[in-house]
Amino acid sequence: MPHSPRRRDFLQAALAAGVGLLLPGAAAAPAPILTRPIPSTGEALPLVGLGSWITFNVGDDAAARDACAEVMRNFFAAGGRLIDSSPMYGSAPAVIGYGLARLGAAGRVFAADKVWTASASRGPAQIEESRRHWGVSRFDLLQVHNLLAWEAHLPALFAMKAAGRLRYVGITTSEGRRHAEFERIMASQPLDFIQVTYNALDREVEAHILPLARERGMAVIVNRPFRQGALVDAVARRPLPAWAAEIDCASWAQLLLKFIVSHPAVTCAIPATTRVDHVLENLGAARGRLPDEAMRRRIAAEVGRL
């Protein structure tokens, strides 16, 4: 029989699971977090990361910064590593830096930021400013945000990587923008990562970009997995299908995320949130069974009906 756990209900389940973990023998250990290798190095990344668009742009509001740090604490505790931000996201990089400093997690995070300026000469200064905000010795990944001035920035990023001041280089787009140009850059540049929008409704990247990423050995980060929350809100009006339990999904959010990360080309999805229960729920999608191709079609059909 279908059941309809709401997103907030997950907190109770997560808390119950946490309590269980504190009692020896009371509950089994959680399933290990699922990872996928970055093709260019083989380094394993958890299938679910943490975005910061809107959610972490809270300025100097101390209470809100502490709440973001608490989200990060739970994210790391649940096995998360990759956090993604951009200079476009206002105070988000500084808020991430606040959280990392407070948690002493600068050495644990997989730090992914972007360069976002039309000026080639401004790029290095912007990157350095972002690095100071994060409080990390170097970024793991720097991406050219939405292809802005990519011709100028990519050579600079490759030079940083060659000098050992950066580990990976990538490009991003979102919501289907400039896909043709995106593919041309993928075909011509030795990128480690790409970042695109992909979810059960926005599937354009399945046609060319995701196969090309596999062919070229590029890791794929997926942004806007919930269409900024709208997708979860839309599907949550309906009961969660009973068959969601077959792939260890306890909520629509997990079902939507498992659809994304089960695509073999996808390395990591980066939902953003301000809530601890949601970040735990999201990380839960990186555990347990993943849908096979038939189940993926079933999820897409179910979401497409809504």
Partner 1 sequence: MSEWWTYGLSDLLLFSPSTYYRLLERYNLAVWPAQPIFLALGLALPFLLRRGRMAAAILAAAWLWVAWKFHLRHYAGINWAADYFAAAFFVEAALLVWVGVIRKELRPRLPGHGIELAAIGIYLLALLAWPAIAPVEGRPWPQAEVFGAAPDPTAVATLAIALLGSPPARWLLLPIPLLWCAVGGATLWAMQAPHAFALPLAAALTLVLAFVPGRRQS
Binding residues (CB under 8 A) for partner 1: these are 54-55, 57-61, 64, 88-91, 118, 146, 148, 175, 177-178, 228, 274
Residue 158's SS3 state is helix
User: Rounded to an integer, what distance in angstroms lies between the CA atom of residue 127 and that of residue 182?
Assistant: 22
Cβ at position 146, least distance to partner 1 in Å = 7
Minimum CB distance to partner 1 smaller for 61 or for 246: 61
Question: Toward partner 1, which CB reaches closer, 194 or 249?
Answer: 194
Q: Are 223 and 272 in contact (CB under 8 A)?
A: no
**Shortest distance in whole angstroms from residue 63 CB to partner 1:** 8
Q: Tell me the three state secondary structure of residue 127.
A: helix
CA angle, residues 76, 210, 191, in degrees to nearest 5: 70
Cα Dmax for the chain: 60
Nearest residue (CB) to partner 1, 91 versus 267 = 91
Looking at the Cβ atoms of 60 and 215, the one nearer to partner 1 is 60
Least Å distance, CB 204 to partner 1, is 14
Identify the three-state secondary structure at position 269. strand
In terms of CB distance, is 146 or 251 closer to partner 1? 146
Closer to partner 1 by Cβ: residue 147 or 257:
147
**C-beta of 15: minimal distance to partner 1 in Å?**
24
CB 106 → partner 1: shortest distance, Å? 23
**Residue 294: burial class (beta carbons within 10 Å; 0-12, 13-18, 19+):** exposed
Q: How many CB atoms lie within 10 A of CB 65?
A: 19
d(CA 276, CA 131) in angstroms, rounded, equals 26
Tell the smallest beta-carbon distance from residue 58 to partner 1 (Å).
5
160: nearest Cα among 113, 118, 209: 113
